Amino acid sequence: MLGPSLDNLKNTVRAMRAISFFCLLMMACVVLEARAPKAAQDGDEAQTLANCPTEGDAKAADARQLNLLKRRMDSPRDLDSSVTLTAILAPGDDSHRWNEQHGAAISGYVADVKVGGIESVNCHTKNALYRDTHIELTLDPNNDSEPKHVIVEVTPQWRQVMAKDSVDWTTPTLRKTLLGRWIRVTGWLMFDVEHARQSTNTASGSGKVWRATAWEIHPITKIEVLPAKPR
């Protein structure tokens, strides 16, 4: 009786091994199938951004005009020295306080770094790599709240420019290296009229206020980490 029982046991073990191998194979196939569409989608998004015109895919004329400012690829030569974080945060209707044809360099404490929204300027790309990065600056990290933040933005187009020089401006890296630090950013002045109602200085209606002003440095063309709070 020992012989047949041993044979049955061996057959059972072989069957279990075959089933386990089959299950592992099926799981591998499922993983590959899940990754393939994502890889294809990422490739499609990269191509979407590459083919996105400078005015984006906005339909309204004012949105297209705003996108042209967001998509500037030259570094500003004329920096307005009167523009500081303190000056930007000054209260009152600031709709016409600065000139969008000028650049500025401002210093502040990084309160947050996060992925921007899905926007017409980037032809509605969804992947974080092909969307703007929002860096939120504040003057006083010990008395901080969103309505006191100034938004400065890295665009995916400038991210690609920096990558050619082996500089990583992806959102996760910027968050890791900048959050909780004092920095100086240089770039173009831009009044994002689409967020005027959510800004402390120009808020109207009952919408949520989550920023101090609609003025931004957008796009950022240079980032410097400072050793301490500037004097």
pTM: 0.82
Q: What is the pLDDT of residue 1?
A: 43
Q: What is the pLDDT of residues 185-201, one digit of tens each?
A: 999 999 999 999 999 99
pLDDT of 8 > 70? The answer is: no
pLDDT at 190: 98
What's the whole-number average pLDDT of the chain?
A: 89
* Confidence at residue 100, expressed as pLDDT on a 0 to 100 scale: 98
- The pLDDT score that the predictor gives to residue 148 is 94
Query: pLDDT by residue (tens digit) across 37-51?
Result: 555 567 899 999 999
Q: Does the pLDDT value for residue 3 go beyond 60?
A: no
Band (pLDDT 50/70/90 cuts) for residue 22 is low
Q: What does the pLDDT look like over 134-147, one tens digit per residue? A: 999 999 999 889 99
Residues in Cβ contact with 228 at an 8 Å cutoff, skipping those fewer than 6 apart = 182
With a cut of 80, say whether residue 166 has pLDDT above it. Answer: yes
Closest CA to 156 of 187, 127, 135: 127
> pLDDT digit string (tens) for 110-160?
999 999 999 999 999 999 999 999 999 999 999 889 999 999 999 999 999
Please write down the HEC assignment for all residues of the chain. Answer: CHHHHHHHHHHHHHHHHHHHHHHHHHHHHHHHHHHHHHHHHHHHHHHHHHHCCCCCCCCCHHHHHHHHHHCCCCCCCCECCCCCHHHHCCCCCCCCCCCCCCEEEEEEEEEEEEECCCCHHHCCCCCHHHCCEEEEEECCCCCCCHHHCEEEEECHHHHHHHHCCCCCCCHHHHHHHHCCCEEEEEEEEEECHHHHHHECCCCCCCCCCCECCCEEEEEEEEEEECCCCCC
Calculate what percentage of the chain has a pLDDT beyond 90: 78
When pLDDT is cut at 50, 70 and 90, the band that residue 29 belongs to is: very low
- Checking if the pLDDT of 218 tops 90, the result is yes
